[in-house]
Amino acid sequence: MTHDLTFWTWQLFVAMGINVLVQAIQIGAYAARLAGVRTGRIATSISLFNLFVTASRLATLLYTLMLGPLADHAGNAVKALTLAHADPARISAVGRLFDGQLRLIVAAGMIGTILGSILLPMFTYVYVRGVRSFERTKSLPHSVIRMFDPRVILDVLRAQRLPSLRELRSFSIERIPRRLLIFNVLVTGIYAIGVVAAYDASVLDINVARTALGISGIINGIGTIAFTFFVDPTSSIIVDEAVKGERPHEDVRSMVFYLSLTAIIGWILSQAILGPSAHLIAFVARLVNHGH
């Protein structure tokens, strides 16, 4: 308890749960590339991919909504303690409490990424069934609703299996561009803490809180541009070459495996850069507000 602040709140649990779900879906979206190769329906797979990503981004809005009360409680506590000329150690304690909450939320995202990676066989099966269902019905909403049929859900669960050690060793990195994996680590790390670091900065300096929160959009925009320029095109080319027979289908499986692995590394990196990023955002926010 720090100035009537409680570490474990329902908003924290909801934010963690949503982040697990969102990141699992994001990783599961990689399976669309495998489904595209297996079915030969790249465009249809991309449509389903976009559906999953849009759903995860909608869930992200709820996740961000939960960050607001946590930041408000911490920011109000800092303001009250500052006005009361409290011991700086007490003010720092509020910041550490809030930082701990944010790190737990980021850790939940990493757990979601690991979970999504483990469930990739199941996600791939979902995409393949979705593509074939869409081809029959010509209706995406109907195909989505069909996935909630109890028999389909049972088939999807049966499709889940853990890869053997032999399968893991079969994933070759030789024909996967190193720059693709490096950029995926960096982009994932930026995405992981873009919003969280901005909220952290809003409590680090409550005088520029609104400016700091506005910077989160810029950070995510940079991450989106980096993904569009360096990650998505390269992975799409590998898929196209596999469909054309210019490279083995195993390359796509290897690519998805290493994209998942580097995404997990990106989340680990995000824990290291969260603090420096929050301080950088606070600095930029003060710089923008200079003279007011």
Helix (H, G, I), strand (E, B) or coil at 252: helix
Given this model, what pLDDT does residue 30 score?
A: 85
Taking the chain (292 residues) in runs of 10, the rounded mean pLDDT of each run is: 73 94 88 85 77 75 88 93 88 93 96 94 87 80 79 83 81 92 94 92 93 87 84 88 89 94 96 94 91 55
Given this model, what pLDDT does residue 291 score?
A: 57
Burial class, 38, CB count within 10 angstroms (exposed 0-12 / middle 13-18 / buried 19+) = middle
Given this model, what pLDDT does residue 292 score?
A: 53
Task: Report if pTM > 0.85.
Answer: yes
Per-chain mean pLDDT for the chain: 88
Residue with tokens 């595209």: 36
Which sequence spans correspond to the domains of the chain?
A: 10-288
Please report the DSSP string for 184-236 in residue order. Answer: HHHHHHHHHHHHHHHHHHHHH-GGGHHHHHHHHHHHHHHHHHHIIIIIHHHHH
Angle at 45 between CA 186 and CA 253, to 5 degrees: 55
**pLDDT tens for residues 21-31?**
999 988 988 88
Number of Cβ within 10 Å of residue 57's Cβ equals 12
Return d(Cα 99, Cα 5) in angstroms, integer: 13
Given this model, what pLDDT does residue 1 score?
A: 44
Given this model, what pLDDT does residue 50 score?
A: 76
**pLDDT tens for residues 71-89?**
999 999 999 998 888 888 8
Number of Cβ within 10 Å of residue 162's Cβ equals 8
